[in-house]
Amino acid sequence: MCGLAGLVLRPQPRSPRVRIMIANMFSRLLLHSEHRGPHATGALVMTTTGEMVMEKAPVPAHRFIASPAFQTLCARIGPDTTVLMGHTRWPTQGSHFDNQNNQPLILPGADGLAVAHNGDIPQVSRYFTQFQLEREWGVDSELLLRLAARHCQPHGIALQPFIRDVAVCAGHLAAILVAAAQPETVILLRRDRPLHVAWCPTQHLMAYASESAILRHALPTSWTWQHQAVAPETAWVVSCADLAKPTVVPL
């Protein structure tokens, strides 16, 4: 198993105090997800321009969040931040000592994509061959990234064709995806692996994690939260403009 953990934010001015609270939340989400994946940790910041900045390392979350690299990453949280994507890894395919296999996985550039995945896709080589996809790394999660890239358009990921391709691939998954072409829209996928969210309407942000207990331990009690589990076999399309009203599509 692995841990998905992060935040989706409506871009807006925020006070230094609130930005620090958001950075601390992100740190705690990763820390409380460590038991789900102690072998590697990664984090990504997405902005309204589609810029993606990422750090990841083959270390547990408690070491990762104490690193200067992660602190520098958190310092980039600003009024244009849309997504803080985190991952704690328990490897099933691909060594965590090869940092390219650790997550989030990204394709950089104007047509860039980022994905974080919890689960496993058996016989993944078969699907790379079937869809005639390029493969660079040893991790099975790369398949989701390449399938999303196959359906990436100027407005972002074409959801229905992407879902049809994912449906062909046997395996277990919960995942989050975001495209540089549409940086204020996030796709949450859940086939059978757990995925939970919590909204804070006063701060215009949404937190997500692989376990509801992670959210309850990591989120500040001084803010009001609305909790919900993502239903199995669904995809949520979440807009930063209206975080509490995702478009729900069956997988």
* pLDDT, tens digit, 9 for 90 and up, residues 123-144: 999 999 999 999 999 999 999 9
- Cα 1 from chain centroid (whole Å): 15
Q: Is the pLDDT of residue 84 over 80?
A: yes
Alpha helices by DSSP H, listed for the chain, are: 16-32, 61-64, 68-74, 124-130, 142-150, 159-168, 212-218
% of residues, the chain, pLDDT over 70: 100
Query: What does the DSSP assignment read for 72-131?
Result: HHHTT--TTEEEEEEEEE--SSS-TTSGGGSSSEEE-STT-EEEEEEEE-TTHHHHHHHT
CB 194 within 8 A of CB 229: yes
> What pLDDT, on the 0 to 100 scale, is given for residue 110?
63
What are the distances in angstroms from CA 50 to CA 43, 47, 178, 185, 236?
A: 16, 5, 9, 11, 20
- Note down the domain range covering 93: 3-250
Mean pLDDT of 59-79: 97
Helices (H) and strands (E) in the chain, counts: 7, 15
The first and second tokens of residue 19, run together, are: 């930005």
| Residue 6 CA from chain centroid, whole number | 7
What average pLDDT does the segment 68-89 reach?
Answer: 97
Peptide bond into 104 cis (omega under 30): yes
User: Structure pTM?
Assistant: 0.96
What CA–CA distance (Å, rounded) separates 150 from 147? Answer: 5
Place 109 in a pLDDT band, splitting at 50, 70 and 90.
confident
* pLDDT of the residue at 11: 97
> Mean pLDDT for the chain?
96
The domain tally of the chain equals 1
Which CATH number fits the domain that encloses residue 69?
A: 3.60.20.10
In percent, the amount of the chain with pLDDT more than 90 equals: 95
Residues 6+ apart with CB under 8 A from 15: none
When pLDDT is cut at 50, 70 and 90, the band that residue 1 belongs to is: confident
pLDDT for 101 equals 96
